[in-house]
Amino acid sequence: MRSKDLRTVLMAAALQPAEDDPVAVAEQRARIDAIIAEHAPKAGSTMLILNEIQSQIGHVSKPMQNYIAEKLRIPLKDVFGVITFYSFFTMKPRGKHRVAFCLGTACYVSGAEMLIEKAQQLLGVKLGETTPDRKFTIEPCRCLGACSQAPAIIVDDNVHGRNTPDRVVTVLRKYERV
Amino acid sequence: MPDEFYRSHILLCQDPECLAKGANDIEEALLRELDAHGLRDEVNLLETSRLGHCHTGPEIVVYPEGVTYINLTPAAVTEIVNEHLLKGRVAKKYLFTGEARKDEELRAPTAKEIRIIMARCGVIDPENIEDYIADDGYAALAKALLQMTPRQVIDQVLQSGLRGRGGAGFPTGKKWEFAAAQKSDVKYIICNADEGDPGAFMNRRVLEGDPHSVLEGMIIAGYAFGAHQGYIYCRAEYPIAVRTLKIALRQAREFGFFGKNILGTGFDFDVELRIGAGAFVCGEETALMASIEGRRGEPRPRPPFPAVAGLWGKPTIINNVETLANVPNIIRHGAAWFAQIGTEKTKGTKTFTLAGDVVRTGLIEVPLGITLREVVFDVAGGIKDGKGFKAIQTGGPMGGCIPEHLLDTPLDYENLGALGSIMGSGGLVVMDDTTCMVDIARFFMDFIQDESCGKCVPCRIGTRRILEILQRICAGDGEEGDIEQLERLSKYILAGSLCGLGQGAPNPILTTIKHFRAEYEAHIKEKRCPAKVCKGLITYRILDTCPGCMVCARNCPSKAITGEKQKVHVINTDLCERCGICMTVCKFDTIVVE
Ligand SMILES: Cc1cc2nc3c(=O)[nH]c(=O)nc-3n(C[C@H](O)[C@H](O)[C@H](O)COP(=O)(O)O)c2cc1C
Ligand code: FES
């Protein structure tokens, strides 16, 4: 096979939805359709649609990107390019709880790295990974605007301030149960 | 809305700290209880920003009695609804009786502060437009639309001397004048609420505490240079600001401040809210516009300036949240009133956020021209824990570090520029003498590296090379000539980068080299980190006085500590990751860094 053909084949394979991919699940696909229908008429709709899908479905897989691009009648690269540019978009589902550690200046100088070490030890995964039970995904993040309570972390939509390694353990234990 | 009366109002604090303690559960419980007793039409539940006792949160205040309840649980809610709302007596168990505690982020102003931008924050209910109107809100809009021509509005802003609060300090009136001169039937005004500088949160507080002041400023700006459509670009990290803005927009529309024929003057204006997706560079104006257009947030060269060809190629003005929030005050009180505050070249007040090693962290608003020393020692109460002052970092990742001997510099755009730093959005991070300046430089370069959009070579590759050199120095592998190499690379990046991100990226490096060169040299020549921070240059050791409590061994993430109960423990330096957790958990101060 010529390399170009091979690329086409590989690409087509990557875009083929697995059976649990949101575009292959009727109820989720209906949600995606509704989001697209609501925002598509607005100018600059790609970001609006992706933001909404990311927050409602939790990720934007490659088959989803393909689906969105076709619906919007734009090149796939314009969707993929946006997804890879902004840190809020993920292509794989996160764990049940997203735990993000602020690495802004104020948090960094007040010991954010210690919190990360502790969380990695406790959960047994590295930054950017999800625990095998899919309960937690831990990631770094940018300043949360809670700098006067540094070091800060955010779990889902809740900011926790004035952390110590011990306090992180307490916080994570609390979310483990829910 | 105006014709609904409630016998009680419950304010529920939605500060991050209260949310963390379960304010959402309290809200659910309250709604459930109110429903169960058929009180939904009589009792009004309002979500507010910080009420002030968040360390004992979640908390609510019940009006008209003005009773504060703290330490709430869903069970407590049941009791409070029963006792307070049904039986009319105070539920003593959860009553807050201490002295009213101050909002720790925004305290009562000290002698050197003036509150203009922050005047309403924490005072009015941001989710009720009537509170804003009662405090002369939208009066400036009425004055501008009914009594002034667009030209007169621009003149007032010009004469006031207002300069952009987003960082560069460009005169706002001038910008509007450019846009007014453009012949185009479509123009846009964008409010930059991307506030990406780590350590800065002043825009968030305005949006959460006084959103209508920003909206009013936008309509006035639109009127002044002929825009009928506005966009607010708010970062996704601020969910509460987004929610408050949505409510404010809806209410302002209901009251006829947005839409067609505003105040019967024939002027049409509307605003749409757009949310970012976590990219620092989107605070840069051309990147921000690309993002609103739904593309990757990559900056483009200027000219053409946005005022000539901006969003979708149309003349566009981008102003910071605080710039816009100043506008209604200027229109209402006049340019002369505004111009009397501040210095010769920089008028008005500026909000700053203080973070790091000072006694009172949080948000302040001071007249421009105040010295850094006054800010650090008078307003913020000096360095905490009795340590010494080392440096103050201004202007975020594109700013610089300013040492003790320059603290008497009056704060304004020119002075900070002369020190190799910038005003930025006003984030100030104070560092005590346990901070390593080489490590701080490395930290900022790491940030820039991560956030560089990658479009231009000097920024993408240049900052990577700088980061590699700094990483080497911090690891103890610094070489003779590294400092000169850093300076050279900085010069090229500064001159060759496409946007403000790259052009400002060398500032943290150049200022730390300039003011803390000896510290770089200690790392490179003596392989020593004087502040004992850089992991490659320090070791942890347990003193012989260790009572063997085993706490450190249990807490060590790398299992580098061994020892038996009641015997002195030892750290295996090969396994030790130098995270410092052992030191924080040791109750006997027997662990030292060397
Ligand atoms: C990398 C970068 C990030 C920026 N981030 C912000 C920001 O978060 N908020 C802001 O108002 N301006 C930011 N600016 C400045 C804007 O480009 C622009 O100058 C400003 O919004 C203009 O508004 P003003 O005239 O009211 O200050 C940033 C600039 C650069 C180069
Ligand atoms: S630096 Fe962490 S919240 Fe601002």
What confidence score (pLDDT) does residue B553 get? 92
> Residue B353: pLDDT above 90?
yes
What confidence score (pLDDT) does residue A125 get? 95
Count CB atoms within 10 A of the CB of residue B295: 17
> Residue A166: pLDDT above 60?
yes
What confidence score (pLDDT) does residue B100 get? 54
CB contact under 8 A, A157 and B555: no
Integer Cα distance of B528 and B171 in angstroms: 46
Alpha helices in A16-92, H assignment, sequence order: 26-39, 45-57, 62-72, 76-85
Q: Does domain A97-177 have CATH number 3.30.428.10?
A: no
> Residue B55: pLDDT above 60?
yes
Integer Cα distance of B78 and A36 in angstroms: 42
Spatial CA neighbour of B30 closest among B13, B17, B16: B13
The average confidence (pLDDT) of chain B is 92
Integer Cα distance of B555 and A9 in angstroms: 51
What confidence score (pLDDT) does residue B49 get? 67
What confidence score (pLDDT) does residue B440 get? 95
B16 lines ligand 2 (CB under 6 A): no
pLDDT over 70, % of chain B: 97
Distance of CA B472 to the CA centre of its chain: 32
Q: In what side-by-side order are the strands of the sheet with B267-275? A: B259-262, B267-275, B229-234, B188-193, B316-320
Extents of the domains making up chain A:
3-85, 97-177
CA of B166 to the centre of ligand 1 (A): 4
Residue A97 half-sphere exposure toward CB, CA atoms < 13 A: 20
Q: What is the mean pLDDT of residues A144-173?
A: 88
Pairing of strands A136-141, A158-160: unpaired
Q: Which of A85, A88, A113 shows the shortest C-beta gap to B579?
A: A113
Could you check whether the bond before residue A75 is cis, i.e. omega within 30 degrees of 0? no
B514 φ, ψ (degrees, to nearest 5): -65, -45
CA of B28 to the centre of ligand 1 (A): 39
Q: What is the mean pLDDT of residues B51-57?
A: 69
Q: Is A143 on the interface with B (CB under 8 A)?
A: yes
B312 contacts on A by Cβ (under 8 Å): 43
Helix (H) or strand (E) holding A174: helix A165-177
Atom of ligand 1 nearest to the CA of B200: 8
What confidence score (pLDDT) does residue B427 get? 93
> Residue B506: pLDDT above 60?
yes
* pLDDT band (50, 70, 90) for residue B239: confident
The whole-angstrom distance between A89's CA and the closest CA on chain B is 7
Distance of CA B570 to the CA centre of its chain: 43
* pLDDT band (50, 70, 90) for residue B459: very high
Among A141-145, B45-49, B197-201, B494-498, where is mean pLDDT lowest? Answer: B45-49
Condensed to tens digits (0 to 9), the pLDDT of residues B242-255 reads 999 999 999 999 99
CB contact under 8 A, A109 and B198: no
Integer Cα distance of B331 and B143 in angstroms: 8
Burial B90-119 (b: 16+ CB within 10 A, else e): ebeebebeeeeeebbbbbeeeeebbbbbbb
What's the start-to-end Cα distance of chain B, in Å? 66
Q: How many residues does chain B have?
A: 594
Q: What is the mean pLDDT of residues A2-31?
A: 86
What confidence score (pLDDT) does residue B514 get? 96
Condensed to tens digits (0 to 9), the pLDDT of residues A25-67 reads 999 999 999 999 999 999 999 999 999 999 999 999 999 999 9
* pLDDT band (50, 70, 90) for residue B12: confident
Q: In what side-by-side order are the strands of the sheet with A136-141? A: A136-141, A97-102, A153-155, A158-160
What confidence score (pLDDT) does residue B2 get? 37
> Residue B432: pLDDT above 80?
yes
DSSP for A104-148 reads SHHHHHTTHHHHHHHHHHHH---TT-B-TTSSEEEEEE---S-GG
Q: What is the mean pLDDT of residues A154-172?
A: 88
**Minimal Cα distance from B395: which residue of A?**
A105
Spatial CA neighbour of B416 closest among B504, B332, B499, B526: B504
Integer Cα distance of B513 and B289 in angstroms: 35
Distance of CA A173 to the CA centre of its chain: 22
Q: Is A56 on the interface with B (CB under 8 A)?
A: no
CB contact under 8 A, B356 and A105: yes
The average confidence (pLDDT) of chain A is 91
Condensed to tens digits (0 to 9), the pLDDT of residues B252-268 reads 999 999 999 999 999 99
CATH classification code of B539-593: 3.30.70.20
Condensed to tens digits (0 to 9), the pLDDT of residues B19-34 reads 777 888 888 899 999 9
∠ CA B47-B50-B55, rounded to 5°: 120
Condensed to tens digits (0 to 9), the pLDDT of residues B179-214 reads 999 999 999 999 999 999 988 999 999 999 999 999
Burial B313-346 (b: 16+ CB within 10 A, else e): ebbbbbbbbbbbbbbbbbbbeebeebeebbbeeb
Tell me which ligand sits closest to the C-alpha of residue A103: 2
What confidence score (pLDDT) does residue B23 get? 85
Condensed to tens digits (0 to 9), the pLDDT of residues A108-128 reads 988 999 999 999 999 999 999
The whole-angstrom distance between B201's CA and the closest CA on chain A is 5
The whole-angstrom distance between A7's CA and the closest CA on chain B is 25
Q: Is A82 on the interface with B (CB under 8 A)?
A: yes
What confidence score (pLDDT) does residue B496 get? 95
Q: Does domain B437-525 have CATH number 1.20.1440.230?
A: yes
pLDDT over 70, % of chain A: 97
Amino acid at B537: L
* pLDDT band (50, 70, 90) for residue B47: confident
Q: What is the mean pLDDT of residues B524-538?
A: 94
What confidence score (pLDDT) does residue B450 get? 92
Integer Cα distance of B43 and B128 in angstroms: 16
Spatial CA neighbour of B509 closest among B418, B407, B360, B397: B397
Residue B253 half-sphere exposure toward CB, CA atoms < 13 A: 11
* pLDDT band (50, 70, 90) for residue B447: very high
CA of B167 to the centre of ligand 1 (A): 6
Extents of the domains making up chain B:
3-101, 129-339, 349-432, 437-525, 539-593
Spatial CA neighbour of B412 closest among B354, B329, B348: B348
What confidence score (pLDDT) does residue B75 get? 87
What confidence score (pLDDT) does residue B3 get? 42
What confidence score (pLDDT) does residue B558 get? 87
DSSP for B354-366 reads EEESBSS-EEEEE
- The helix-helix angle for B321-333 and B202-209 (nearest 10°) equals 60
A97 contacts on B by Cβ (under 8 Å): none
Alpha helices in B403-436, H assignment, sequence order: 413-418
Integer Cα distance of A135 and A113 in angstroms: 22
Q: Which of B238, B294, B581 shows the shortest C-beta gap to A114?
A: B581
What confidence score (pLDDT) does residue B102 get? 55
∠ CA B40-B46-B48, rounded to 5°: 165
CB pairs under 8 A between A and B: 167
CATH classification code of B349-432: 3.10.20.600
Q: What is the mean pLDDT of residues B304-321?
A: 97
What CATH architecture does domain B129-339 belong to?
A: 3-Layer(aba) Sandwich (3.40)
A104 lines ligand 2 (CB under 6 A): yes
Q: What is the mean pLDDT of residues B222-246?
A: 95
> Residue B583: pLDDT above 80?
yes
∠ CA A102-A108-A110, rounded to 5°: 110
What confidence score (pLDDT) does residue B163 get? 97
3-state secondary structure B573-592: CCCCCCCCHHHHHCCCCCEE
**Minimal Cα distance from A162: which residue of B?**
B17
Which tokens hold the place of B540? 């942890």
DSSP H helix total and E strand total for chain B: 24, 18
What CATH architecture does domain B3-101 belong to?
A: 3-Layer(aba) Sandwich (3.40)
CB contact under 8 A, A47 and B312: no
Integer Cα distance of B463 and B579 in angstroms: 26
CA of B6 to the centre of ligand 1 (A): 43
What ipTM score was computed for the predicted complex, to two decimals? 0.91
Burial B40-49 (b: 16+ CB within 10 A, else e): eeebbbbbbb
pLDDT over 90, % of chain B: 74
What's the burial of A176, exposed, middle or buried (CB within 10 Å: 0-12/13-18/19+)?
middle
What confidence score (pLDDT) does residue B487 get? 97
Count CB atoms within 10 A of the CB of residue B424: 26
Which tokens hold the place of B145? 């639309």
Distance of CA A155 to the CA centre of its chain: 13
Which tokens hold the place of B420? 């190799």
The whole-angstrom distance between A13's CA and the closest CA on chain B is 26
Q: How many residues does chain A have?
A: 178
Integer Cα distance of B387 and B296 in angstroms: 45
> Residue B282: pLDDT above 70?
yes
What confidence score (pLDDT) does residue A178 get? 67
Spatial CA neighbour of B243 closest among B90, B127, B145, B333: B127
* pLDDT band (50, 70, 90) for residue A3: low
> Residue B1: pLDDT above 50?
no
CA of B462 to the centre of ligand 1 (A): 23
